[in-house]
Amino acid sequence: AQSVAQPEDQVNVAEGNPLTVKCTYSVSGNPYLFWYVQYPNRGLQFLLKYITGDNLVKGSYGFEAEFNKSQTSFHLKKPSALVSDSALYFCAVRDDSSNDYKLSFGAGTTVTVRA
């Protein structure tokens, strides 16, 4: 079984401040982890993924995420947030022991960056 939790419905930060969006996961095997962003009236855009290797992964638009196996977390971070980063963010997981390629998505976190 696989699942992911995003404990915060909303995150509000000032432009220029660091942004963190939290995600924890649960899998039977090893996790494949993903972050997506959804702007209003748009589809989901892939930001970054962790499959194996370096625990810190870098993605699009200056975002990065850190895989922490002991805490079963994969938090999304950006050192300096922009107003244009305001969007809905989804964390997703796939158990590597699964061969059906299905992803389980979190409930989503709405990020608001104020000018």
Smallest gap, in angstroms, from Cβ of residue 16 to another protein?
26
Smallest gap, in angstroms, from Cβ of residue 31 to another protein?
10
Which is nearest to 110 in space by CA: 12, 4, 16? 12
Smallest gap, in angstroms, from Cβ of residue 40 to another protein?
9
Task: Tell which phi-psi region holds residue 61, choosing left (phi > 0), alpha (psi between -120 and 50) or beta.
Answer: left
Nearer of residues 13 and 57 to another protein, judged by Cβ: 57
Residues that bind another protein (CB under 8 A): 32, 34, 36, 41-46, 49, 51, 88, 90, 94, 100-103, 105-108, 110
